[in-house]
Amino acid sequence: MKKAKIDWSRYGILFAWLLLILVFFIAQPKFLSLNNILNILRQVAIVGVCSVGMTFVILTGGMDLSVGSILGLSTVAGALMMSGGVPPFVSTVSTLLIGVCSGFLNALFVNIFGIAPIIMTLGTMTALRGVAYIICGGYPVYGIPEKFLFLGQGYVGGIPVPVIIMILAFAAGYFVLNRTTFGRSVYGIGGNVEVARLSGVNVKKNLYIIYMAAGALYALAGSILLARVNSGQPKAGEGYEMDVITACVLGGISIAGGEGRITGVIVGVLMMGTLTNGMIIMNIPEFWQWVVKGTVLIFAVTIDQLVKRGRAAKA
């Protein structure tokens, strides 16, 4: 009778996360207090929502560096509209459209001109950040209606609203990837774009949908952040691309595309949140936090490459 083998490529991140929790709990027992657990969940909600969109992009073999800038632009635009008297609902829908248009722009140049996604989104990352500073003059925007703050600061049944939104986003992403034809085409595009095209998949159309949906999710995360901090900051979202990409890669999404599960991304998001929160509680300087996060990203990508080489060798 053969012994069951653990698929470390799938469950290794879960064990690593549990080990990280144990280390921080031993170092600081209050780490596992209910208040801190809710705090971690609230902190990772924005990255979590963004990571759903990023998961789809990476699964197609792409990379979206514009996530933080779309989030920041949406935050400032939403704040400007609401401070000018635009109803919160209309403002939020408008910011979602900003995200959709930004995603469309990314997909347009990727599809029509064949620009590599990482290069195209690097350009929009810089350009959209500039737009965010221009429209607000480089100053924070205040005057957010009180009722809008519920989106980022409210609770439903003791659970923070941002956490509920994150859960719904992950549930929707899971359903699309695992229960729809579109989800299978996403994996197909990342696995082999030519094979997917020959199989009848409209690759360009799907890329438009993916980048536009990702942009909408980034903008939604921007609205949550706006409601949480009660102001539109032009620098909002700076550096988020690293946290979001790291969470996806840690969660098992292959940077080459075509492989990975969104359930793993959930653990990746929680691990990044746990790591950040634990380092703050232990009073680790911010600069060292950057070193740790960068090292984690390098480690995750290295593991991804080693796993792929191992599978190729077995094949």
Q: Kindly give the confidence (pLDDT) of every residue in the chain, 315 residues in length, as a single tens digit, with 9 standing for 90 and above.
A: 445 555 555 667 788 888 889 988 998 888 888 899 999 999 999 999 999 999 999 999 999 999 999 999 999 999 999 999 999 999 999 999 999 999 999 999 999 999 999 999 999 999 999 999 999 999 999 999 999 999 999 999 989 999 999 999 999 999 999 999 999 999 999 999 999 999 999 999 999 999 999 999 999 999 999 999 999 999 999 989 989 999 998 888 988 888 889 999 999 999 889 988 989 888 888 888 889 888 887 877 777 677 667 666 766
CA dihedral 239, 218, 225, 297 (to 10 degrees): -30
What pLDDT does residue 10 have? 62
Terminal C-alpha separation, the chain: 24
In a domain? residue 301: no
Amino acid at 230: N
Q: 170-179: string of b/e by CB count within 10 Å (b at 16+)?
A: beebbebbee
Kindly report the backbone phi and psi dihedral angles of residue 11, in degrees, each rounded to the nearest multiple of 5, phi listed first: -110, -5
- Confirm whether 24 is domain-assigned: no
Q: Would you call 311 exposed, middle or buried from its count of C-beta atoms within 10 A (0-12, 13-18, 19+)?
A: exposed
Distance of alpha carbon 252 from alpha carbon 82, whole angstroms:
39
306 within some domain: no
Distance of alpha carbon 181 from alpha carbon 266, whole angstroms: 22
Q: Count other C-beta atoms under 10 Å from residue 302's C-beta.
A: 10
Check if the beta carbon of residue 160 is closer than 8 Å to that of residue 45. yes
In a domain? residue 307 = no
Number of domains making up the chain: 1
- Say what the pLDDT of residue 8 is: 54
CB 100 within 8 A of CB 66: no
Q: Which residues, 6+ apart, have CB-to-CB distance to 227 below 8 Å?
A: 144, 148, 149, 150, 151, 152, 153
> Do the domain assignments include residue 168?
yes
* 3-state class (DSSP) for residue 244: helix
Q: Is residue 247 in some structural domain?
A: no
Q: Which amino acid is at 57?
A: V
Tell me the C-alpha distance between 117 and 127, whole Å.
15
What pLDDT score does 1 carry? 46
Query: What secondary structure letter does DSSP report for 192?
Result: -
3 in a structural domain: no
C-beta neighbour count of 208 within 10 angstroms: 18
Residue range of the domain that includes 183:
44-239
CA nearest neighbour of 307 among 3, 12, 2, 4: 12
Residues 6+ away with beta carbon under 8 Å from 234? 72, 76, 129, 132, 133, 136, 138, 139, 140
